[in-house]
Amino acid sequence: MNLLMLIIMFSILLSLALSWVALFLTKKKMMTREKSSPFECGFDPKNSSRIPFSMRFFLITVIFLVFDVEIVLLLPYLISSSYSSDLFSMMSSIMIIFILTFGTLYEWSEGSLYWSKS
């Protein structure tokens, strides 16, 4: 037990010492106007490179993640369904599919799945 505590204390002290040394040995980077501007082959940029983020793209990404989670939830059932025919697991997977289908139809009726409004 004492050996384990000694190893843990040595690891913590070593990591703190290395972090402290790295903090003082690195070059200080001064943020100037030239360094913070985007580089375009030596030319001044014609317009701002920091354009606003598209919320439509973010919404499509969130919808993709929901369906990705759906696959993660249903994949174990699909693999184990060949081994047994449990009624509860089948009903729960049908319920998950129903809820996600209803959510998709709701998003579609709200117009969230259209990339641009016409």
Q: What is the dihedral of CA 56, 59, 60, 65, to 10 degrees?
A: 160
Average pLDDT over residues 47-58: 70
pLDDT of residue 11: 94
Q: Could you tell me the pLDDT band of residue 118, with boundaries at 50, 70 and 90?
A: very low
Residue with tokens 């002290």: 13
Q: Using one digit for the tens of pLDDT, what is the confidence trace for 55-75?
A: 777 777 888 888 888 788 777
Q: Using one digit for the tens of pLDDT, what is the confidence trace for 13-36?
A: 999 999 888 877 776 655 566 666
Q: Where are the domains of the chain?
A: 54-81
| φ/ψ (deg, to 5) at 49 | -85, -5
Distance CA 20, CA 23 (A): 5
